[in-house]
Amino acid sequence: DIQMTQSPSSLSASVGDRVTITCRASQSISSYLNWYQQKPGKAPNLLIYAASSLRSGVPSRFSGSGSGTDFTLTINSLQPEDFATYYCQQSYSTPVTFGQGTRLEIK
Amino acid sequence: EVQLVESGGGLVQPGGSLRLSCAASGFTFSDYAMHWVRQAPGKGLEHVSAINNNGGSTYYANSVKGRFTISRDNSKNTLFLQMGSLRAEDMAVYYCASSRVRGVTPNWFDPWGQGTLVTVSS
């Protein structure tokens, strides 16, 4: 199975900040990397698919980049509604696997 | 509006059985593969099972193989997960999700249902 490792596991930031979350795969997954946002008590929501494609309806302050084994999710100008947990997921091979999550908290 | 609504969760004793349902609306259910993803309390996400658009192909994680059965009724736009021989480690919120492709090949999940909680305890 492909292991997905996110860093950091948690971070604190302020409204208006720019934050970057990293996801590393245990082997090359090309661009088969997706990002989700999950708020407490809610289901995950797709933000970015295929490493850098923004899902329709997702604010443009969210962006993704990377290929191979190293990927990043960047949020520009943090808004209050962005404080949540973020997960990466590889869709390169079965079984699909998720990172352990990055909790983004208000500083 | 695209919507997935799970039901059927609840409290079950170890070794017991439970059947989850997921009702879909707002999209052509029979065109897409469907999935179950679970999340244990305070933990991350685990892909549990998948079924292709016509029900002819399925996938199970090793952790549930032989105990869970996924199925679908395209005439009723409904996905099912029959869970048996339940263990404490199966306790989780179970989400259904679509992958917007026909087969069980890996893809992103969108949309997701709101989830249903399965509690395994004596």
Q: Which residue of B has its CA nearest to A41?
A: B114
3-state secondary structure of A8: coil
Q: Which two tokens stand for residue B28?
A: 């052509």
Q: What pLDDT does A45 receive?
A: 98
Q: Which residue of B has its CA nearest to A53?
A: B108
pLDDT tens sequence across A56-88: 999 999 999 999 999 999 999 999 999 999 999
Measured distance CA(B20)–CA(A72) in Å, rounded? 35
Q: Which of B50, B55, B62 is CA-nearest to residue B99?
A: B50
Size of interface A-B (CB pairs under 8 A): 52
For residue A1, the tally of other CB atoms under 10 A from its CB is 12
For residue B121, the tally of other CB atoms under 10 A from its CB is 10
Mean pLDDT of A1-10: 98
Q: What pLDDT does B45 receive?
A: 98
CB contact under 8 A, B109 and A93: no
Q: What pLDDT does A25 receive?
A: 98
Q: What pLDDT does B35 receive?
A: 98
Is-contact A35 A73, C-beta < 8 A?
yes
Q: Is B58 exposed, middle or buried (0-12, 13-18, 19+ CB in 10 A)?
A: middle
CB contact under 8 A, B106 and A90: yes
pLDDT tens sequence across A23-56: 999 999 999 999 999 999 999 999 999 999 999 9
For residue A57, the tally of other CB atoms under 10 A from its CB is 8
Q: Write the DSSP assignment of B42-53 as a string of letters.
A: T--EEEEEEE-T
- C-alpha radius of gyration, chain A, whole number: 13
pLDDT-derived band at B61, boundaries 50, 70, 90: very high
List the single residue in B45, B104, B111 with the smallest CB-CB distance to A98. Answer: B45
pLDDT tens sequence across B42-60: 999 999 999 999 999 999 9
Is-contact A47 A73, C-beta < 8 A?
yes
Is-contact B38 B52, C-beta < 8 A?
no
* Percentage with pLDDT > 70 across chain B: 100
* Mean pLDDT rounded to a whole number for chain B: 97
CB contact under 8 A, B112 and A45: yes
CB contact under 8 A, B108 and A100: no
List the single residue in B44, B95, B107 with the smallest CB-CB distance to A98. Answer: B44
CB contact under 8 A, B109 and A49: no
- Cβ-Cβ contacts under 8 Å, A101 against chain B: 44
- Cβ-Cβ contacts under 8 Å, A94 against chain B: 59, 104-106
A83 touches chain B (CB under 8 A): no
